[in-house]
Amino acid sequence: MVKSISILGCTGSIGRQTIAAAEHIGMPVAALTANKKIGMLEEQARRLRPEFVAVYDEEAAKQFKIAVADTGIRVGSGMEGLIEAACMDGADCVVTAVSGSVGLKPTLAAIDAGKRIALANKETLVCAGDIVMARAAEKGAEIVPVDSEHSAIFQCLMGRGRGELKKILLTGSGGPFRGRPRAELEDVTPEQAVKHPNWSMGAKISVDSATMMNKGLEFIEAMHLFGVTPDDIQVVIHPQSVIHSMVELVDGTVIAQLGVPDMGLPIQLALTYPERVPSMFGRLDFTKLKDLSFEAPDLEKTPCLGLAMDCARTGGTAPCVMSAANEVAVGMFLRHALGYNRIYDAAAGAVAKLGSVRDPDLETILAADSAARAYVMENFGK
């Protein structure tokens, strides 16, 4: 079990649940970072008393510094602040719960500092999986996934040699619009799209779950985390979200991880791994479980998943371009500035326009990320 943690992105859904898990198991918090929700951040900081807090937004950081002047908490800002929080001497684990590619540099810095990464920021692996995984192997930094599917796969593979794995069965609920054709979804509102049937999550990831871009990002994330090819991963729709993912072994045995659909469970495990401790979450009652059903994804109805699988095969900067374009498009959709079906058009358009650069270094990846954002703002912004 780790001794102390830094939480990057503490005011988001995963960040808040990480704080709840840390308080439940009595784990100290050395550093917190947030973008600009300084009201909530101040309340968290006063309660947890971290040594250091970074606010990404410079203006909000100035206000926050004044607000907590009486506490003795050091305050930083910008990317520099996020990186300092990721490298704190006092923390041996960094929970990367920021949304989007802003998590990339702090994650690499934490790996260089030898921290365990409790990885909740999937964009980091989607954009720079080759670089991040190679760096982690070189520095001996552990990466423990927080995403429920990847935590499930990680758990199914515990104690197993890589040669035993035949394929990964990546499950997904199908989201709130499962089975509905695209033509019917033209006028979907943000309020409808963020209502996930099983999971309580932040707005961006809830929209990604509705379009199934989330499953596509997870597909790419799984390739990097577990060192497999696209052909080794099968997406299975499982609407009840009781099985969180499975692995098929070479002899045909399938091992699944089951539990109540609560992100608190994989978060707690990432902090206590390889130990397990009692949690505050509900238990499965098999006598009350109705059918567990499974189906193949329909890529015509959810083209974002097909696009992501194509980008996974293309490799290079294609996944980063797709993810960055999607991030901007989802932001526009949430502000009622873009139609629901245009999210796919924006992501696919960016990939078609910008193509892919092979074996990119970090600068090339960040440039592709910026180009994708600019493409969507120019071509889809009002």
- Mark residue 244 as left, alpha or beta (left: phi above 0; alpha: psi -120 to 50; beta: remaining): alpha
Yes or no: say if 112 and 135 are a contact pair by the CB < 8 Å rule: yes
Yes or no: say if 149 and 171 are a contact pair by the CB < 8 Å rule: yes
Q: Which region, judged by CB under 5 A, interacts with Mg ion, from 37-45, 141-149, 266-274, 357-365?
A: 141-149
What string marks each residue from 337 to 356 as x (binds Mg ion by CB under 5 A) or -? --------------------
**In degrees rounded to 5, what are phi and psi of residue 236?**
-125, 125
- As beta bridge partners, residue 116 has 93
Q: Which is nearer to Mg ion, 51 or 221 (CB)?
A: 221
What string marks each residue from 94 to 133 as x (binds Mg ion by CB under 5 A) or -? ----------------------------------------
Q: Which is nearer to Mg ion, 148 or 302 (CB)?
A: 148
Q: Which region, judged by CB under 5 A, interacts with Mg ion, from 15-23, 125-133, 145-153, 236-244?
A: 145-153
* Nearest-approach distance from CB 149 to Mg ion, in angstroms: 5
CB-based closest residue to Mg ion: 147
Count residues near Mg ion (CB under 5 A): 3
* Nearest-approach distance from CB 144 to Mg ion, in angstroms: 15
Task: Compute the distance between CA of residue 319 and CA of residue 368 in angstroms, rounded to an integer.
Answer: 10
Looking from the CA of 5 toward its CB, the CA atoms found within 13 Å total: 31
Residue 358 structure tokens:
């092979």
DSSP-based three-state secondary structure for 18:
helix
Q: Rule CB under 5 A: is residue 142 a binding residue for Mg ion?
A: no
Q: Which region, judged by CB under 5 A, interacts with Mg ion, from 27-35, 142-150, 310-318, 348-356?
A: 142-150
How many distinct helices (H) and strands (E) make up the chain? 15, 11
Binder of Mg ion out of 51, 84, 142, 147 (CB under 5 A): 147
Residue 225 structure tokens:
């985390």
* Nearest-approach distance from CB 199 to Mg ion, in angstroms: 8
Residue 89 structure tokens:
């001497």
Residue 358 CA: distances (Å) to CA of 124, 130, 317 = 18, 12, 7
Q: Which is nearer to Mg ion, 32 or 225 (CB)?
A: 225
* Nearest-approach distance from CB 308 to Mg ion, in angstroms: 13
Write out the residues near Mg ion by the rule CB under 5 A.
Answer: 147-149
